[in-house]
């Protein structure tokens, strides 16, 4: 299955924030959308998900326009992890994760044994089964983010869309979330995520789209996208792209020039 965006324009109240955007993501791909604040990453994300109306262009699943899909059909193929989420009640983590099964339930149906097994499988797949009986609102930020990813995985989607999944997380929890994205892609899921951190393209071995302030896009693999020139055009600062070695592996990373 493929998730494809063609010549998309999106914005608010008829004002176009993003225009002419295209992207194609297949099974096992990781695609990062990055760029400065205010360039339209979250607006684009919400438009692809159908949370905002498109101003132009199309979104297709396996060549089929998503306009022809019901909300339930779309949710069975594409799951969404928001930047932050606080439920109104103090559910335990297993109950939060099982909410991801809604797309597979009939009207007025309650989750059954198979749904709770899917929730437990998702928690185990992400290595957080120990959290199943914890109160969701009492988790740390990193634990809560992993629980939201587990909820999306329990949805059994073909594609996972994550909006700034490492925002406000500490260094270790950022690595946990990025590792989860890589493992899910290795299992055949297509992953799309927005990020403020250019290094995430290197860390996830991802394809990427760098959204520039003037409305242009730079697309491709990390080495092609993350050049000093492209990063200067996007962020308005000088950025070094450096090479290092760790345990016999070549490692690349970005560092801003602080003056």
Q: What is the CATH number of the domain that holds 79?
A: 3.40.50.300
The rounded distance, in Å, linking the Cα atoms of 179 and 70 is 32
How many structural domains are present in the chain? 1
Q: In this structure, is residue 132 part of a structural domain?
A: no
Mean pLDDT within 233-245: 94
Q: In this structure, is residue 125 part of a structural domain?
A: no
Per residue in 198-226, pLDDT tens? 999 999 999 999 999 888 999 999 999 99
pLDDT attached to residue 2: 96
Q: In this structure, is residue 58 part of a structural domain?
A: yes
The rounded distance, in Å, linking the Cα atoms of 81 and 146 is 10
Q: In this structure, is residue 229 part of a structural domain?
A: yes
Say whether pLDDT at 65 is over 80. yes
Q: In this structure, is residue 63 part of a structural domain?
A: yes
Q: Is the pTM of this model over 0.85?
A: yes
Using alpha carbons, list the distances in angstroms from residue 107 to 31, 50, 60, 102: 34, 22, 26, 9
Q: In this structure, is residue 142 part of a structural domain?
A: no
Contact 165, 193 (CB under 8 A): yes
Q: Which of 210, 233, 207, 212 is nearest to 222 (CA)?
A: 207
Say whether pLDDT at 58 is over 80. yes
Q: In this structure, is residue 148 part of a structural domain?
A: no
Q: In this structure, is residue 143 part of a structural domain?
A: no
Indicate left, alpha or beta for 130 from its phi (over 0: left) and psi (-120 to 50: alpha): alpha
Q: Which of 101, 102, 130, 141 is nearest to 117 (CA)?
A: 101
Q: Residue 92 gets which letter from DSSP?
A: B
The rounded distance, in Å, linking the Cα atoms of 5 and 48 is 8
Per residue in 92-147, pLDDT tens? 999 999 999 999 998 888 999 999 999 999 999 999 999 999 999 899 888 999 99
Task: Give the three-class secondary structure for 168.
Answer: coil
Using alpha carbons, list the distances in angstroms from residue 46 to 2, 54, 115, 196, 227: 18, 10, 27, 17, 28
Range of the domain at 249: 2-83+157-256
- CB neighbours of residue 65 within 10 Å: 11
The rounded distance, in Å, linking the Cα atoms of 190 and 150 is 15
Task: Give the three-class secondary structure for 100.
Answer: helix
Indicate left, alpha or beta for 27 from its phi (over 0: left) and psi (-120 to 50: alpha): beta
């Amino acid at each position: 299955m493929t998730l494809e965006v063609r010549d998309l324009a999106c914005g608010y109240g008829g004002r176009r924030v993003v225009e002419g955007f295209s992207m194609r993501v297949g099974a096992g791909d990781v695609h990062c959308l990055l760029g400065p604040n205010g360039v339209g990453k979250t607006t684009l994300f919400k438009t692809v998900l159908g949370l905002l109306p498109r101003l132009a262009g199309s979104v297709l699943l396996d060549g089929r326009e998503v306009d022809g899909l019901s909300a339930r059909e779309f949710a069975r193929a594409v799951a969404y992890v928001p930047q932050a989420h606080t439920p109104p009640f103090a559910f335990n983590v297993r109950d939060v994760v099982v909410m991801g099964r809604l797309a597979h339930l009939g009207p007025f149906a309650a989750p059954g044994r198979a749904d709770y097994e899917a929730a437990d499988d998702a928690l185990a797949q992400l290595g957080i089964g120990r959290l199943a009986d914890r109160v969701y609102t009492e988790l740390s930020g990193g634990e809560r983010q992993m629980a939201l990813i587990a909820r999306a995985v329990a949805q059994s989607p073909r594609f996972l869309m994550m909006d700034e999944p490492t925002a406000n997380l500490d260094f270790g929890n950022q690595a946990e979330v990025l590792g989860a994205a890589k493992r899910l892609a290795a299992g055949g899921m297509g992953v799309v995520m927005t990020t403020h951190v250019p290094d995430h393209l290197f860390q996830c071995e991802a394809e990427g789209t760098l959204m520039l302030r003037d409305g242009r896009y730079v697309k491709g693999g990390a080495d092609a996208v993350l050049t000093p020139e492209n990063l200067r055009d996007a962020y308005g600062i000088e950025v070094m792209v450096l090479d290092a070695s760790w345990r016999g592996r070549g490692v690349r990373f970005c560092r801003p020039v602080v003056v």
